Chain A
Amino acid sequence: MASVTSATPPGAAGELTAGLRGFREVQRLAYACAEAVAAQLKPGVTERAAARMQREWLRERGVRDWFHLPFAWFGDRTAFVNFRVPLQFFPTHRELEPGMAFILDMAPIHNGYTADIGYSGCLGLNPVHDRLLADLEAHRELILREVRERRPLREIYADVDRLMVRQGYANRHRAYPFGVIAHKVDRVRQRRWSPTLFGFGTRSLRGLASDALHGHRDGWSPLWSPYRFSDHPPQPGLWAVEPHLGFRGTGAKFEEILVVTDSKDPQESAFWLDDDLPHVRRRQEEKAA
C-alpha cells in the first residue's frame, strides 16, 4: 500500500518539468494563504471576511486572475446543509464560533498556472471534524490507486461514494455543479484584464469549455462526475480532486492536483503533484505520534 500511495512523482521532486513546478508553486502559495488566513480566524469572523482575507493575501502576492474566487464555509455550511441553489456556495454573514468547522476554498492563477485547493480546519476542539479529516486519507489513497489502474472515472466515483457510505458519511461533492469530484485545470494565458463571472474566472471557464468541446468529440470530459459522460479512463492532464465528506452538520474536504500522464509505468501514470501539504503533513505527524 505504501508504495501505491506514496505520491512521489517519477524521480525526485526536482525532476518535475518546469510546467509542473509552476503548478506546484501556485498550489503551495494557495495552501500558504489558507494556513495564514486560518491562523487569523477567531470567533465572530464572518465567511465574507474570511473570503476577503484570502483574496487580499493572494492579491498582495501577485495573483490577478482566478479559476474561482475564494470561498469560505463555516459550521453546518461545511456540510452544505440545506444547499439547494448554487448561490448558496458564496460566503455569507455566518459568524465563526468556538468548536466550529470551517473550509477555505480558493483557486488562484499565478503566472498563468492554476491551483484549486480546499482547506479544512476548526476553531478549537471538534472530535467529529478530526475524525472526518482522518477518514479522508482513505479516499486520497483510493483515488490514486484506482486512477493508476486506469479504471473508468465514473467507477472510481462510485467506489469513493461507496467508501463514504461505509464510513457513515454523506457525499457532499454531490452538491457541487454537476456533482463533480474533480475537474481539469490548465494553464491560462495572462491578460491585463481578467473578469469573473459568478465568481469564476472567465478565462478558465473558457478553457474548461473548450476542453469540454474537444473532449466531447473524443469521448471524454474535463468534469469528473457520476454521470455517463465520465465513463472513460482518466484523461492525461492535471485534475483538481476534491472529495468532500459530510456528517450531520460537519463537513471536511481536501482539494489538490492529481497529475495523470500517459506513461505505461503505473507509478508515473498518476501521482499527487505535491506531498508537502497541510492535510498530508497532519496525517504523517499523527502517524509518527
Chain B
Amino acid sequence: MSGAGAGTSAEAEAEAGAGAAAGLAGARERWVRTGGIELCVAELGDPAQPTVLLVHGYPDSKEVWSEVARGLADRFHVVLYDVRGCGRSTAPQPLRGGFTLEKLTDDFLAVADAVSPDHPVHLVGHDWGSVQGWEFATVRRTEGRIATFTSMSGPSLDHFGHWIKKRTVRPTPRRAAQLLNQSAKSWYVYMLHTPVLPELAWKGPLGKRWPKILQRVEKVPGGDYPTASLPTDAAHGAWLYRDNVLPRLRRPRADAYAHCPVQLITPTGDAFLSPRLYDDLEQWAPHLVRRTLPAKHWVPRTRPDQLVSWIGEFITAKEEGDPARQVVANGAYADRFGGQLVLVTGAAGGIGRATAFAFAEAGARVIAVDRDAEGAARTAEMSRLIGAPQAWAEVVDVSDETAMEKLADKVHAEYGTVDVLVNNAGIGLSGSFLQTGTEDWKKVLDVNLWGVIHGCRIFGRRMADRGQGGHIVNTASAAAFQPSKLLPAYSTSKAAVLMLSECLRAELAGQGIGVSAICPGLVNTGITSTARFTGVSADEEKRRQARAARLYGLRNYPPEKVADAILRAVVRNQAVVPVTPEARGAHLLSRFAPRVLRALARFEPRL
C-alpha cells in the first residue's frame, strides 16, 4: 500500500492552509490521496527534525492537538491529519466498511510516506487515535515506519479482547469487578452500535451542546475546539466503532506485539477507560514506559504542557539512541512525577530535604529553596545524583514577600510553572504564652504562616493561571490540632496553616489543583536544635535544645517516611495527613475526644 497511496495531490499552500486550519496558526496544509479518500494533513516545525505524527480520537478532529502541536513544534516536525470522515478529510463511500483498522492503516502509511519518506515517525495517539496507533504499532506492514508510539486513553482492541477473555474465562471476584467496572464505562460503545440514532443525536441537540458538556464535565477550556465540523465528524466516526469493535473483541489477534518502544500515558480520572485495562500491557509491549496523569479523558486539551514534556522526553531518548542516562529514576511514583517541576522550601535539611530527594528519585525536576545556601546547594546536587533530570538551589527567606515574588518570576521564566509546591519551611518555638514576646510571635508567624501564605499565593496563582492542574503541600504539624501549654505560638501558626490549606483546597478544587496539609508529629530533624525556648537563659535554652534533640532522636522517626507520606498525599490528593502514630492518634482524639487532648495540653514534660 505504501507506494500506491502516497501520491500527494495537493501543493503545500502555506498561507492559504494557515488561514483555513482553525486553531493551527502557521501550519502548512496539504492533501494526501489514499484509497479514494483525501486526507487533510497539517505540518508545523522544521521538516529536518524528527517527525511526530499526532492522531486524534472520537469525536474530534486534528484541532484537538493544537496546544500540544504548538508545544512540540519548536523541537520537532509536527504532523497532524484529520482521520477519514473527520474535519476536512473526505469520507469513504459507502460509510459501512470504510473505517476498518486495515484502511486506517493504509491512511497512516500514506501520510507517513508523504511527510517523512526516509525516516520512521514518532506516533502519538489519543482515544481512537491511540486505538489506531496500537494497530499501526503491532501489524507487520508498518514495521520500520514507527520509531516510537505514545498512547493515551485508547487500548488496542486486540489487547482489550484478550483482557475481556481472561476475565470471563476465569472470573475471580476482582477480575469480575474489573470487568463490570469497564462494562459500565463503555456505555457509549453500546449506544454507538444502534443504527441512525447516534447520527441524529450528533447532528441535532448533542452536537450543539457538546462544547458546553466538555467544558462542564471534562473541564476542557473553550476556544478553537471543538470545530464546527463536529456533528458530521461524530456521525461518521460512529462507523469506527461499528466496523471494528465487535469483530476485534470477538477474535482478537494473537500476535499483537508492539514492534517499537511504547509510552503509555494513563489519565487516572478517565470516565471511559479503567486504568486496569493496562495491567498486563508489558506482555504486549516490552520496555513499556508508564506515565499517570491526574486528569480526565481529554488530556490533549487539559494537560498539553505535561504531554509535550513527556512526548518530547520519550522521543529524544529514542533519537539519541537511548543514551545510557547515568541515573534512571526508579523511585516510587516515577510514572507520576517524571519530568514534573517540584519546588520545596526548607529544603536544606530534615523533612524538606528528604522530600526533595523522594521527588528526585521519582524523576522530578527539583528546586530546593532555603535560607541556608550551602544546604540547599547540597540538596540540589544530591538530587541530581539519584534521579532528578535537573535540580537547582535557590536562597530565599520564605517570610520575605518581595524575595518570594522574585523567585517566582525567575522560576517561571527559567524553569516553567511549578507542578508541585511543597511549603515546608518552618521554625520551632517553645515557651509559655505569657513568656512569649511580640518579637518571638512575629518571627514564628512570619516564617511558619506568612511563608506558607506567600508560597500559596505567589506560586499558587501561577499554577491556577496556567489552568493545567497541580498540587500544593503545606507542612503543618500535629501541633495544629493538639493544644499544648509548651507550644502556644508554634501550634497557633501551624493550626493556621492547616485551616489555610483546607480553605485553599476548597477554592482550588475546581481547577484541578489539590491541596494537602501534612501533620508529621515527632520527627527526628534539625528543627529541635534550632528551636527557640522563650523565658530562659541562653545556657538553659541550649540545654533544652539538646534535650529536645535527644528526645526526638530517641523517638527516631525518620524524615524519609514523612517524605513518602507527602508523595502519597499528592498522588491520592489527600486533604489532611497525620504521619506518625502519635500524630494519627492525636488527630483521631481531636475529632472524637477533644477533652482528652485539652487535658493533655496541661501536661508539661521535663525538658
Contact = CB atoms under 8 A, between A and B. Distances in A.
Contact of A165 (B327, B379, B385, B526): B526
A168 B327 contact: no
B597 interface: no
A247 B382 contact: yes
A248 B326 contact: no
Nearest to B379: A168
A125 B385 CA distance: 12
A247 B361 CA distance: 12
Interface string B346-360: 000100010001000
A168 B326 contact: no
B253 interface: no
B378 interface: yes
A127 B379 contact: no
* Interface of B: prevailing SS: helix
B326 A127 contact: yes
B378 A167 contact: yes
Interface in B210-245: none
Contact of A131 (B349, B361, B382): B382
A166 to B, nearest CB: 7
A176 to B, nearest CB: 15
Interface string B374-414: 01001100100110000000000000000000000000000
B382 A168 contact: yes
A128 interface: yes
B70 to A, nearest CB: 36
A165 B525 CA distance: 9
B424 to A, nearest CB: 16
Nearest to B326: A127
Contacts of B385: 127-128, 131
A127 B327 contact: yes
Given A125-B326, A165-B349, A248 B375 contact: no
Interface residues of B, number: 15
Interface residues of A, number: 11
Contacts of A170: 558
A128 B386 contact: yes
A165 B354 CA distance: 11
Contacts of B361: 248
Contact of B378 (A127, A128, A168, A248): A168
B15 to A, nearest CB: 52
Contacts of B327: 127
- Of A125, A128, A168, A247, the most chain B CB neighbours within 10 A belong to A168
A128 B382 CA distance: 8
Interface in B315-340: 326-327
A251 to B, nearest CB: 14
Contact of A166 (B357, B375, B386, B558): B375
A22 to B, nearest CB: 40
Nearest to B361: A248
Interface string A164-202: 011110100000000000000000000000000000000
A170 B357 CA distance: 13
A125 B361 CA distance: 18
Interface string B106-136: 0000000000000000000000000000000
B353 A248 contact: no
B386 A248 contact: yes
Given A128-B386, A131-B385, A168-B378, A248 B349 contact: no
A279 B526 CA distance: 30
Nearest to B375: A166
Interface in A142-180: 165-168, 170
Interface in B278-334: 326-327
B553 to A, nearest CB: 9
Nearest to A129: B385
Interface string B10-29: 00000000000000000000
A128 B330 CA distance: 14
B34 to A, nearest CB: 48
Contacts of A166: 349, 375, 378
A129 to B, nearest CB: 10
Contacts of B349: 165-166
A131 B357 CA distance: 15
Contacts of B378: 166-168
- Of B357, B361, B385, B386, the most chain A CB neighbours within 10 A belong to B385
A127 B383 CA distance: 12
Interface in B549-579: 558, 560
B353 A168 contact: yes
Nearest to A250: B386
A167 B349 CA distance: 9
B357 A248 contact: yes
A126 to B, nearest CB: 9
Contacts of A125: 326
A209 to B, nearest CB: 27
A128 B327 CA distance: 9
A166 B560 CA distance: 15
- Of B361, B378, B386, B526, the most chain A CB neighbours within 10 A belong to B386
A235 B353 CA distance: 37
Interface string B515-532: 000000000001000000
Nearest to A167: B378
A247 B60 CA distance: 49
A167 B374 CA distance: 10
A86 to B, nearest CB: 18
Contacts of A167: 378
Nearest to A130: B385
Nearest to B549: A158
A168 B526 CA distance: 12
Interface of B: 326-327, 349, 353, 357, 361, 375, 378-379, 382, 385-386, 526, 558, 560
14 contacts: A127-B326, A127-B385, A131-B385, A166-B375, A167-B378, A168-B353, A168-B357, A168-B379, A168-B382, A170-B558, A247-B382, A248-B361, A248-B386, A248-B560
The 8 closest A-B pairs by CB, nearest first: A128-B385, A168-B382, A127-B385, A168-B378, A131-B385, A127-B326, A248-B386, A128-B386
Given A128-B385, A168-B353, 20 more contacts: A125-B326, A127-B326, A127-B327, A127-B385, A128-B386, A131-B382, A131-B385, A165-B349, A165-B526, A166-B349, A166-B375, A166-B378, A168-B357, A168-B378, A168-B379, A168-B382, A247-B382, A248-B357, A248-B361, A248-B560
